[in-house]
Structure 1
Amino acid sequence: MTPSSPIRAIVTGHTRGLGAALAEQLLTRNVTVLGLSRSRHAALKARFPTQLEEIELQLADSARVAQWVATDALRNFVSGAQTVLLINNAGMVQPIGPIEGQGATAVADAVSLNVATPLMLASALAAAAADATDRRIVHISSGAARNAIAGWSIYCATKAALDHHARAVALDANRALRICSLAPGVIDTDMQAQIRGSGEAQFPMRARFEDLKRNGQLSTPEQCAAQLIDYALSDKFGDAPVADIREIAKPA
């Protein structure tokens, strides 16, 4: 059993990159965390043995996610919490390239991980935490959701789906539920390495991302995580269903 805590958070893809930074910073703020990923974060578990719970789950496999959602695991985790926070962080940028080179399996995996799983978890969280006085859902979106980019048709489409989902859910005016599809800016993670490793034929804007790295213009996962958590737990969260952390974090 997890220790009593007024806040419980679920973070997908918590073993590396932004997800790992989010999980670590939530834990250091005394938030009990459930990490959902295809592997476990041994170092983080060693530091927070009772505060961190982990479930190994293939998040790109919609059938397995649906099976897990049908269990009582999520309901048990959020039971008794005053505030429940879901951060749908896990995602993939692949397949990169023109439409004729996108394999059916790669497309299906991307849509499952980037869209189906976040939407299933959002619905499950809303139902499982029905007694919580404050339910918050963060979709990690992207500037690619709002600006079409050559070579990223699948990534752009899946992130745009999260934006529109948040807009529609906000219109439902659910009791004690806030949602935002939040673009985190450009972060120095493994995904950025994949992007810079793409051929220019597949991704014509590669040079721009190489320049961002070269010129030190990428934010660190830790910097971004701090801004995201501050906003997600603030009174302003949910005022806008779609937002960009770079705009929110600008000095007044």
Structure 2
Amino acid sequence: MTTTRHLTILTGASRGMGLAMAVQLLDPSRHLLCISRRANDGLAEQARQKGAPLTQWTQDLADTTGSRERLQIWLEGLDTSALKSATLINNAGVIPRIGPLDQCPPEDLANALRVGLEAPMQLTAAFLRATGGWVEAGWRGPRKVLNISSGLGRNAMAAQAPYCAAKAGMDHFTRCSALDEAHREHGARLVSLAPGVIDTDMQSQLRAGDPAAFPDRSRFVELQRQGQLTSPEDAAARLLAWLQRKDFGDKPVADVRD
């Protein structure tokens, strides 16, 4: 990178709200790194048309160690003199088979916790370590971590133990890391932000759940029927606007509806 740019790293960017965020982040003044299981050709074409620097990695975030090492090595190799700021957005997550915990296949449970909690922790650790090295070398741009949480991390729901646990863990590790960074000179700012109820594939998955195993299924059916779901594009805009708030990080766990 020869021009001075912002750097944004976004996981789960190939579809849904993640893709909507990626599209809105495309700009000639920003280098966007998207990390997903598959690349999105349409996003690449939009980036080309806008003259927006875009890098897409195909990476299984369930490989948490590999994801962390890849990101840290990449960050450590960047020319920081060309960067104005650095932001990590942990958006990726999965809902395993819907039902009571004892009916969740062990591999589905492990994958939900790896992708939804361990991967964000590992990527955040890599980001903070690498960019912390930049600060030690004299770089002074702002560093931010935005973790996309959920109201289900703060409110229990039957048949959703793995997802709820991952999001609750995301909230709390954000609180802990925010405390760590507050004690460091030029520390990073972190927020775990619930985006509201969004019309994505996850919502479709919930509405398709077995009523016998998922007592709250009717609630999600009603949300769609009453038109109470936010579009991925609107939700993405609200999340990205939060990143620009002057008080970003003052409250490490928040909700866009606050």
Q: In structure 2, the residue corresponding to 1:148 is in which secondary structure?
A: coil
- The residue that corresponds to 2:137 in the other structure is none
- The residue that corresponds to 1:204 in the other structure is 215
Q: In structure 1, the residue corresponding to 2:26 is in which secondary structure?
A: helix
Q: How far apart are residue 17 of structure 1 and its match?
A: 0.5
CA distance in 2, matches of 1:245, 1:198: 27
Q: How far apart are residue 65 of structure 1 and its match?
A: 1.8
Q: How many residues align?
A: 245
CA distance in 1, matches of 2:78, 2:114: 24
- The residue that corresponds to 2:245 in the other structure is 234
Which amino acid in the other structure matches residue 194 of structure 1? Q
- The residue that corresponds to 2:145 in the other structure is 137
Q: Is the aligned partner of 1:221 residue 2:232? A: yes
CA distance in 1, matches of 2:256, 2:207: 23
Q: How far apart are residue 195 of structure 1 and its match?
A: 0.7
Q: Where does the alignment leave 5 or more consecutive residues of structure 2 unmatched?
A: 135-139
- The residue that corresponds to 1:115 in the other structure is 117
**CA offsets 1:103-124 (integer angstroms, 9 cap, x no match):** 1111110110001110111111
- The residue that corresponds to 2:75 in the other structure is 74
CA distance in 2, matches of 1:21, 1:30: 18
Q: Is the aligned partner of 1:160 residue 2:168? A: yes
Correspondences of 1:7-22 after superposition (within 5 Å): 7-22=6-21
Q: Percent identity?
A: 39
**CA offsets 1:187-230 (integer angstroms, 9 cap, x no match):** 00111111111111221111111111111110011101111111
Q: In structure 2, the residue corresponding to 1:186 is in which secondary structure?
A: coil
CA distance in 1, matches of 2:104, 2:126: 31
TM-score by length of 1: 0.92
**CA offsets 1:162-190 (integer angstroms, 9 cap, x no match):** 00001111111133300000000010011
- The residue that corresponds to 1:244 in the other structure is 255
CA distance in 2, matches of 1:188, 1:194: 11
Which amino acid in the other structure matches residue 197 of structure 1? A
- The residue that corresponds to 1:181 in the other structure is 192
- The residue that corresponds to 1:250 in the other structure is none
Q: How far apart are residue 239 of structure 1 and its match?
A: 0.8
Question: In structure 2, do the counterparts of structure 1 residues 182 and 66 end up closer, same or farther at CA, with 3 Å as the change threshold?
Answer: same
Q: Which moved more, 1:194-203 or 1:137-146?
A: 194-203
CA distance in 1, matches of 2:154, 2:144: 22
Contact 1:35 1:55 survives alignment (8 Å): yes
CA distance in 1, matches of 2:200, 2:26: 21
Which amino acid in the other structure matches residue 60 of structure 1? A
RMSD: 1.7
**CA offsets 1:14-63 (integer angstroms, 9 cap, x no match):** 11001001111011484220000010011111121351111110012224
- The residue that corresponds to 2:26 in the other structure is 27
- The residue that corresponds to 1:43 in the other structure is 42
Q: Is the aligned partner of 1:125 residue 2:127? A: yes
CA distance in 1, matches of 2:71, 2:31: 19
Contact 1:187 1:224 survives alignment (8 Å): yes
CA distance in 1, matches of 2:75, 2:70: 9
List 4+ stretches of structure 1 deviating above 6 A: none
Q: How far apart are residue 3 of structure 1 and its match?
A: 5.5
- The residue that corresponds to 1:84 in the other structure is 86
